[in-house]
Amino acid sequence: MPLHKILTISEHQTVAIWKIDETLDEFLIALDISKSDKQRLDGFKLERRKKEWLAARLLLQNLLGQYPEIVYGDNGKPRLAGYERYISISHTANYAAVSISNQPTALDIEICSSRVEKVANRFVHDSEWAYINEAEKPQYYTILWCAKEALYKHYDVFGVIFKDQFVVKPFELKPTGALQCEFLHEEVKHELTLNFLINDDFTLVYC
C-alpha cells in the first residue's frame, strides 16, 4: 500500500499523503469500512471518486489505529466523531492527503497544471498579480489556489469570494516554505501562516 509521505508537523499534528494505485477491492480489504459508509460509497458514480474517498479514510485509519467515523458540518467541513481532534481532507489526481491535529487545521493538494491559468481571474487578488513570475505562472497559480482552498476550509465561512477576501503576500517559489495570508471578513483582517510543499508530483499547502 503506497503511503507516500508523513509529515510530523508537531507532536500535535500530522499530515499524511497517499499515492493512489489500488483497486477498489484492495481498498475495501484494507479498510474496516462501516455499513453506512459502504452505502455512501456505493452512491458515487465515478470509480476515481470512490478511490479518493477510500484513500482518505485509509490514511485516517492508519493514523488513528481504527476506522474513522466522519461527520460533516453545514458547510461540508469534516470532523471526527468521538475524537477531540480536527481533520482536513483533500485529493487530486492519484493522491489523497489528510491533516489531523488538536487545533483547527486545513490543507489542499493539487497537481500543477496549466489548466489553472484559465480560471486564475476568479481567485487571484489584484495585489498578487505583481509578484507572479511569467515563466512560472502555473506553479504560482497552483500554490495560490491551494492556499485559498486551505483558507476557506480553515475559516469555514460560507460565501467567501476567493479573489477579493483571501490575500497571499509575496513569496518565493522553492520546495518548501511559508505563506503569509490575510482573510478580509466583515471589515476585519484575519492573518494566518500556511506552509507549502512543492515537488514534481503535487503541490501541498497546509496549516
pLDDT in tens, the chain (207 residues): 567 788 888 889 999 999 999 999 999 999 999 999 999 999 999 999 999 999 999 999 999 999 999 998 888 899 999 888 999 999 998 999 999 999 999 999 999 988 888 999 999 999 999 999 999 999 999 999 999 999 999 999 989 999 999 999 999 999 999 999 999 998 889 999 999 999 999 999 999
The full set of domain ranges for the chain reads: 3-105, 109-206
**Contact between 167 and 125 (Cβ < 8 Å):** yes
**Contact between 98 and 88 (Cβ < 8 Å):** yes
- Report the topology of domain 109-206: Ribosomal Protein L22; Chain A (3.90.470)
The class that CATH gives domain 3-105 is alpha beta
Residue 27 belongs to what H/E stretch? helix 24-30
